[in-house]
Structure 1
Amino acid sequence: MILILFFCFSFTVDQYIENGRPSADPVVVNPVMEEFDPTKKPEFIIKPRKQFADEGKVAKFKTSFEGVAQVNWERHGQLLQQNDKYKMYPALDFHYLEISSVTAEDAGSYTCIVSNDVGSDTASAVLEVFETFKPSPTPAPKKLELDVKLLDRDVLEGTQQVEFKCKFSNATTVYWLKDGRKLTENERRKMTFDGVFAMLIIKDISCLDIACYECVATSKRGEEVRTSCALTVKRDKQDCNDETGERSKAPEIVSVTPSDLSVKSGEAAMFTVNHTGDTEVKWYRGRREVEPDDRLIIDNKSGVGHFTIQNALPTDQGVYNVIVTNKWGNDSMLVRLHVEDTSIFDGRDVKISTENFEDFYILQDKVGKGRFGTVHKCIEKSSNRLWAAKIIKCKEKQKPDVRNEINIMNGLTHSKVLRLWDAYESPTGFIIVTEFVCGGELFERIVDDDFVLTESDCAHFMHQICEGVCYLHAKNIIHLDLKPENILCIAKSNNLIKIIDFGLARCLQPGDSIKVLFGTPDFIAPEVVNYDEISYATDLWSLGVICYVLLSGWAPFTGETDSETLVNVTQAKYDFDEDIFEDISELAKDFIQKLLVKNKDHRMTIQDCLKHEWLALDTVDGQIMKRLSTDKLKTFIARRKWQVPTPASSLKQSNGGGPSGKAFLNGGADHWHHSHHHRKGHMQTPRSSSYSNGQVPWKKNGNAIQAVNRMIGKFSSLSSNSSISSSSSSSPTSSSSLYSKSKQSS
């Protein structure tokens, strides 16, 4: 009997499962251990039970009954159909309902109905679905907005309390600045923020509280919103004079115009203050008094004062405070300057004019002098802007060199290079009008006792120089005379620099082959000394030397004589003295090592320099903020400035050309010059010399010296008292130190 029943059951299952899936309308015979009566209605032996399932999982009801019957499943009175969602099938002694990928909507009551011709039986069970926890998507942070700005306050000294209040939407944190410095709480100062309103409370007001206050709010999105205001503090206008018993009046500012000024970068900004009484007038930016120089001009007269910022820079933007003072009191007022960072040089094409220079400009004080000319301050009549006028005296045969410099500078608009504004030609020479740069030479700036030099500062300066060189190379220009004297600071009030002096610069077009024999011995590349073809990498060698000197105060290849220096350059051998480079990071050394490579093809490109990790450093093993000694750098500057030229520096070329103003202007920092430029496939013979058997004849003190193209061979053939010439180019355009001389130093 058992075998027969098993056979019947197996036959039934096979019959109802077709191709792995149950048939649509199964008739099931549930086997039992005893003989069943086909005339008996089916009855459940095991009823379906309550099921629990996690969302996304499979839920399965199981039931078993006695007899032969048709099986159906319902949910809330609706008959379920066989599909991918619901699978109904028998297996062994049971019948199953399988629900795949359940969701919360599948929860509820399910009923199994077994029926035949005699009767039916039903059984129900509940399915509960546990929803998978899904955190609500975090809404995107809302935009940070300023709802209520800060308002300027004007109070009397001794006022018990002043409150500054502003309102933000969607701010997470706020902090306060006073003249750009972050504020902290103390007994007189309290700061609060409740998520909406930010408040600064200052008690017992005094003149020390005069400042620009700024509230800075930040958001989760990384946004930043600022609002600022000015606090001015005045004393009682009537104070008692203890000596005379008379009542004397403290000064009062009648007006400051304009109170809010916007200019473009490079334009002049002028403020005028009208006041009462016999007073002293001072201008401040923050707590620091403005020190007048060639660019920042303060002119005070009785009852009126002027403050002019020539060639306004983006860094000049901010709030300035003018204070008028006498022995009875003071008065103050704040003004704002906005500088739009839009270059006035963009799109300017300079044509050399033959008109009278003085019809358009007012020539002012001399600020520098050289063998071939001088540099003056000048004011453009049409705009009242301050410029530098380089006046060059030259003969007709030297004029092409000056025109080359003008052509190279024309169209240079980058903030890190000296920019050309105008040019005039006369029978006796040229006047080149450029930006006026009054911050002095970079190296002289950093050796000042008030300047704290760190490795981070050096990286900052080198990054700026690299930006300027990258711009020049993108314009197909090789500078060929990068050295400390040609790196100037824009102003004394900031650390921004400019690259100047394009007297030796060359344009390198695709297909050009250029060979030169000029430069400054300490900074020229091996390919120049060896009279090989130069490339953009020639400037990169000079950058490596500048960086080495900046960090150490030593030039890596300097010898006892210029000849020895040139030999050292061709050998490209140097080291990092342990005592000098003890506090210098390995990344800085790596930067130098990748530039001071003898084979120019293996040096970093200027793009590689800008990507080098050292230029972006903030800290290096806690040492990068350590102050670097500038004693050796002071010695280096003094040696270059005061070195007396040796007889070698008076070397003349075979055509009788004399030394240029470059060696003179650099105080004996010697140069030497010879050039050869041709396009591949076409040789252009230099004007200054002739070629014979691959040698270049030079004259020194009337005696010929044979200078072969490979300078190393030349060095070995020279006697100890016959050094290589260090004379500069005969071009009168080289004036690297003209722009760096202040009125006082000149």
Structure 2
Amino acid sequence: MRLSFCSPGALAEFLDPQQQVVVGVGGTARLHCCFSSSGPVASCWIHDREKVVLEGPRVCVTNTSSSSTLVLSDVLPVDVGSYSLFVCNRGGTAHWTISLRVIGHPDPPASCPFVSQLTHTSLVLSWSGPCFDGGSAITGYVVEFQRLDQSEPSDWTELANQCLNTSYRVRSGLDPQGWYHFRVRAYNAVGVSDPSEESDCIKMNTAGEPQQEVTSYVEVVPDTTHKARDHYHVHEKLGVGKFGEVYRMSHKQTGWVCAGKFYRARVSREKTAARQEIKLMKELHHPKLVQCLAAYDTSSEIVMILEYSEAGKHLMVLHGTPEFVAPEVVNYEPVDLATDMWSIGVICYILLSGESPFQGNCDAETLALVTAAQWEFNPESFDGITDEAKDFISGLLREDKR
């Protein structure tokens, strides 16, 4: 520790303080700062702008004339964040901030395994990663199965324990006549998560019995002779983008409902871009991706026919910038237009204050603040902002999206 001498009236000076403390869930975090001061001092700890309670079963603060120590026991994920020590003497107030990172087991994968490319002896499982990685990066997944076509369901058996991606092709180990459930666990440097929800019951013997879980992919060859309206009825507009418009469509002979993307392809460059997108969509085969089912490429129009989502089916997503996503995105719950309203509230907050209401020291901390819907108007940043503007933001940043 280096020595430092303060002149009368000088601010307290911190001596080689900690910058970050990492502790596992349930462990004990010790945050310690030494300082030098020219006279009597008063000190206190602040956690994310809220004064740390100096009493309680989990918190212990010890102050001396030259140091302060905060000990937090039985650490929980909600304890992550910035812990600032403020030291006040005759010269004013100095502060130092220590970041507390809490790591633990990850949450279970956010979805049950989905099955595709099912044959008598093999299949492909795909799933969504955990909503929260435990504060430590996900390093792999464990795939398990349970056989159901016996007098009693078997115990869960490990099928693979070093799967690095959110999909896995099962090539062996399954009976062609068997019935199975599948589930997945995620793991990080700390340990393994609880299992995901179980998949639907999967029957391996598919002869004569098409399985709902099987995803069949068609080989799309663009039709250069006909127009889309020759084969489809065009109904209401579903959306408009920079490069085209999307309509709900139905096949004239079968009544089958799909979506049609009509490209704005007036010049050669736009037509080339449209054809490139269709070419790419033709090659993307995955049960979680919208599939290209047909395409029309004539001199007057270019149209791509896509799968259409079933009315009443909830949409859930697991992507977005942590400080802008709504709690239902982080929790992998159904999303709708109200979800975008939350993001608008975050944007308005940033535009008016220059600060982000949920940004933490890391993504895990940010997501924890989002799911807890913990935020406030910083008095300094919102000085001069009207009550109407603050009411507008308050109406948008609500955990209950109703």
Q: TM-score range by the shorter chain?
A: 0.3 to 0.5
TM-score (norm 1): 0.19
Higher relative contact order (Cα pairs below 8 Å, separated by 6+ residues): 2
Larger proportion of helix: 1
Task: Compare CA radii of gyration and give the structure with the larger one.
Answer: 1
